[in-house]
């Protein structure tokens, strides 16, 4: 298996910062989904302390 390091390829890395839709901060963390909705991911904004959903590609 080859380790590709092309930085132009965004493969939806789990470490990608998600921007808060309320305050625009990227100081967010991902929460682990509990349901079957794998097409969505829950995030939590540490800046305004609001949970929000982000659609996963
Ligand atoms: Zn926020």
The Å distance, Cα 36 to ligand 1 centre, comes to 25
The Å distance, Cα 10 to ligand 1 centre, comes to 24
In a domain, 44, yes or no: yes
Residues with CB under 5 A from ligand 1 (ion): 20, 22-23, 25, 45, 47-48
Nearest-angstrom CA–CA distance, 1 and 34? 32
SS3 at position 42 = strand
Sheet with 28-31, strands from edge to edge, namely 28-31, 40-45, 51-55
Residue-wise pLDDT tens digits, 7-49: 555 544 556 688 999 999 999 998 876 666 566 788 999 999 9
pLDDT of residue 41: 80
Nearest-angstrom CA–CA distance, 38 and 55? 9
Write the Ramachandran bin of 12: left for phi over 0, alpha for psi from -120 to 50, otherwise beta.
Answer: left
In a domain, 3, yes or no: no
What domain range includes position 41? 18-57
pLDDT of residue 52: 92
In a domain, 57, yes or no: yes
């Amino acid at each position: 298996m080859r380790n590709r390091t092309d930085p132009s390829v965004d493969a939806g890395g789990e470490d990608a910062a998600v921007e808060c839709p309320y305050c625009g901060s990227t100081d967010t963390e991902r929460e682990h989904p509990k349901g079957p909705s794998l097409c969505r991911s829950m995030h939590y904004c540490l800046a305004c302390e609001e949970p929000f959903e982000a659609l996963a590609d």
